[in-house]
Amino acid sequence: MRVRVEQTALPGIGVRHDLMTESGRRLGVVSHRNGRRDLVLYDPDDPDSCQHDIPLTDDEAEALADILGASLMLGQLAGLRDQAAGLLTEQIAIPAGSRYVGRPLGDTKARTRTSASIVAVLRQGEVIVSPDPTFRFQAGDVVVVVGTRQGLDGVTAILAEADPDG
Protein backbone atom coordinates (compact mmCIF):
# COMPACT_ATOMS: atom_id res chain seq x y z
CA MET A 1 0.00 0.00 0.00
CA ARG A 2 1.34 3.43 -0.96
CA VAL A 3 0.91 6.07 1.69
CA ARG A 4 -0.15 9.50 0.52
CA VAL A 5 1.56 12.37 2.33
CA GLU A 6 -0.16 15.73 2.08
CA GLN A 7 1.93 18.87 2.35
CA THR A 8 0.27 22.09 3.50
CA ALA A 9 1.94 25.50 3.66
CA LEU A 10 1.29 27.26 6.96
CA PRO A 11 1.84 30.98 6.25
CA GLY A 12 4.07 32.57 8.86
CA ILE A 13 4.67 29.19 10.54
CA GLY A 14 6.21 26.70 8.13
CA VAL A 15 4.89 23.54 6.52
CA ARG A 16 2.82 20.56 7.70
CA HIS A 17 3.06 17.01 6.34
CA ASP A 18 0.10 14.72 7.14
CA LEU A 19 -0.66 11.09 6.44
CA MET A 20 -3.53 8.74 7.15
CA THR A 21 -2.57 5.39 8.67
CA GLU A 22 -4.11 2.14 7.54
CA SER A 23 -6.02 2.04 10.84
CA GLY A 24 -7.62 5.41 10.01
CA ARG A 25 -5.55 7.66 12.29
CA ARG A 26 -4.25 10.94 10.92
CA LEU A 27 -0.85 12.16 12.04
CA GLY A 28 1.54 14.79 10.89
CA VAL A 29 4.73 16.73 11.38
CA VAL A 30 4.77 20.52 11.53
CA SER A 31 8.15 21.94 10.50
CA HIS A 32 8.38 25.51 11.75
CA ARG A 33 10.41 28.19 9.95
CA ASN A 34 12.60 28.51 13.05
CA GLY A 35 13.60 24.82 12.80
CA ARG A 36 11.30 23.46 15.49
CA ARG A 37 9.30 20.31 14.68
CA ASP A 38 6.08 19.05 16.24
CA LEU A 39 4.69 15.55 15.94
CA VAL A 40 0.91 15.94 15.70
CA LEU A 41 -1.77 13.30 16.32
CA TYR A 42 -5.27 14.31 15.26
CA ASP A 43 -8.50 13.51 17.08
CA PRO A 44 -10.08 10.40 15.49
CA ASP A 45 -13.56 11.89 15.90
CA ASP A 46 -12.58 15.28 14.42
CA PRO A 47 -9.69 15.00 11.93
CA ASP A 48 -9.29 18.80 11.90
CA SER A 49 -8.67 18.89 15.66
CA CYS A 50 -5.26 18.16 17.18
CA GLN A 51 -5.46 15.60 19.99
CA HIS A 52 -1.72 15.60 20.84
CA ASP A 53 1.11 17.95 19.86
CA ILE A 54 4.58 16.71 20.79
CA PRO A 55 7.44 19.19 20.27
CA LEU A 56 10.67 17.47 19.15
CA THR A 57 14.25 18.73 19.49
CA ASP A 58 16.59 18.15 16.55
CA ASP A 59 18.14 15.18 18.38
CA GLU A 60 14.72 13.69 19.16
CA ALA A 61 13.53 14.10 15.56
CA GLU A 62 16.74 12.49 14.30
CA ALA A 63 16.44 9.61 16.78
CA LEU A 64 12.82 9.00 15.78
CA ALA A 65 13.77 9.00 12.09
CA ASP A 66 16.61 6.55 12.82
CA ILE A 67 14.30 4.22 14.73
CA LEU A 68 11.68 4.22 11.99
CA GLY A 69 14.27 3.97 9.22
CA ALA A 70 16.21 1.14 10.84
CA SER A 71 13.16 -1.03 11.50
CA LEU A 72 11.87 -0.40 7.97
CA MET A 73 15.22 -1.20 6.37
CA LEU A 74 15.72 -4.39 8.37
CA GLY A 75 12.13 -5.46 7.61
CA GLN A 76 12.72 -4.90 3.90
CA LEU A 77 15.94 -6.91 4.05
CA ALA A 78 14.11 -9.75 5.80
CA GLY A 79 11.43 -9.67 3.06
CA LEU A 80 14.12 -9.72 0.40
CA ARG A 81 15.74 -12.73 2.07
CA ASP A 82 12.44 -14.60 1.86
CA GLN A 83 12.10 -13.80 -1.85
CA ALA A 84 15.62 -14.66 -3.01
CA ALA A 85 16.65 -18.28 -2.68
CA GLY A 86 20.12 -18.59 -1.21
CA LEU A 87 20.38 -14.89 -0.37
CA LEU A 88 20.87 -14.23 3.33
CA THR A 89 21.31 -11.24 5.62
CA GLU A 90 23.42 -11.29 8.72
CA GLN A 91 24.64 -8.86 11.35
CA ILE A 92 28.36 -9.19 12.07
CA ALA A 93 30.09 -7.36 14.93
CA ILE A 94 33.54 -5.87 14.36
CA PRO A 95 35.79 -7.11 17.17
CA ALA A 96 38.04 -4.62 19.00
CA GLY A 97 41.14 -6.44 17.73
CA SER A 98 40.14 -6.36 14.06
CA ARG A 99 42.72 -4.97 11.66
CA TYR A 100 39.89 -2.89 10.13
CA VAL A 101 39.09 -0.82 13.25
CA GLY A 102 39.83 2.78 12.26
CA ARG A 103 40.26 1.82 8.61
CA PRO A 104 37.92 2.47 5.67
CA LEU A 105 35.41 -0.11 4.46
CA GLY A 106 37.09 -0.08 1.04
CA ASP A 107 40.25 -1.56 2.56
CA THR A 108 38.37 -4.80 3.29
CA LYS A 109 37.61 -5.39 -0.41
CA ALA A 110 34.77 -7.49 1.04
CA ARG A 111 32.53 -7.40 -2.03
CA THR A 112 35.38 -8.24 -4.42
CA ARG A 113 36.68 -11.04 -2.19
CA THR A 114 33.32 -12.58 -1.18
CA SER A 115 30.57 -11.26 -3.50
CA ALA A 116 28.68 -10.25 -0.33
CA SER A 117 27.69 -6.61 0.25
CA ILE A 118 27.85 -4.52 3.41
CA VAL A 119 24.55 -2.63 3.15
CA ALA A 120 24.47 -0.88 6.53
CA VAL A 121 26.40 -0.32 9.73
CA LEU A 122 24.77 -0.12 13.16
CA ARG A 123 26.73 2.14 15.51
CA GLN A 124 25.59 3.10 19.01
CA GLY A 125 21.90 3.07 18.06
CA GLU A 126 22.49 4.85 14.74
CA VAL A 127 22.03 3.23 11.33
CA ILE A 128 24.42 4.19 8.55
CA VAL A 129 22.75 2.98 5.36
CA SER A 130 24.89 2.16 2.30
CA PRO A 131 28.23 3.22 3.77
CA ASP A 132 30.67 4.34 1.09
CA PRO A 133 34.21 2.95 0.70
CA THR A 134 35.67 5.80 2.81
CA PHE A 135 33.48 4.94 5.83
CA ARG A 136 35.75 4.11 8.80
CA PHE A 137 34.92 1.23 11.12
CA GLN A 138 34.96 1.44 14.92
CA ALA A 139 35.22 -1.42 17.39
CA GLY A 140 31.72 -2.60 18.22
CA ASP A 141 30.20 -1.56 14.90
CA VAL A 142 27.74 -4.15 13.59
CA VAL A 143 27.68 -4.53 9.83
CA VAL A 144 24.59 -5.73 7.99
CA VAL A 145 25.72 -7.99 5.16
CA VAL A 146 23.74 -9.49 2.27
CA GLY A 147 25.01 -12.48 0.31
CA THR A 148 25.28 -16.25 0.16
CA ARG A 149 26.24 -18.30 3.22
CA GLN A 150 29.77 -18.60 1.80
CA GLY A 151 29.95 -14.82 1.24
CA LEU A 152 28.71 -14.02 4.75
CA ASP A 153 31.24 -16.42 6.25
CA GLY A 154 33.93 -14.75 4.15
CA VAL A 155 33.03 -11.26 5.41
CA THR A 156 33.00 -12.58 8.99
CA ALA A 157 36.52 -13.97 8.50
CA ILE A 158 37.77 -10.74 6.89
CA LEU A 159 36.46 -8.55 9.70
CA ALA A 160 37.87 -10.93 12.34
CA GLU A 161 41.42 -10.66 10.91
CA ALA A 162 43.64 -9.54 13.77
CA ASP A 163 45.47 -6.21 13.69
CA PRO A 164 49.15 -7.10 13.24
CA ASP A 165 50.11 -3.98 15.22
CA GLY A 166 47.58 -4.62 18.00
> What is the DSSP track for 58-125?
HHHHHHHHHHHHHHHHHHHHHHHHHHSTT-EEEEEE--TTBTTBTSBGGGG-HHHHHS-EEEEEEETT
Residue 82 pLDDT grade (very low, low, confident, very high; cuts 50, 70, 90): low
Q: 10 Å Cβ neighbour count for 120? A: 23
pLDDT digits (tens, 9 = 90+) for 20-70: 888 888 898 898 888 889 999 998 888 778 899 999 988 888 788 777 766
pLDDT digits (tens, 9 = 90+) for 105-116: 999 999 999 999
CA distances in angstroms from 41 to 18, 46, 52, 74, 112, listed in the order given: 9, 11, 5, 26, 48
Q: Strand, helix or coil at 154?
A: helix
Residue 87 pLDDT grade (very low, low, confident, very high; cuts 50, 70, 90): confident
Is 138 within 8 Å of 94 (Cβ atoms)?
A: yes
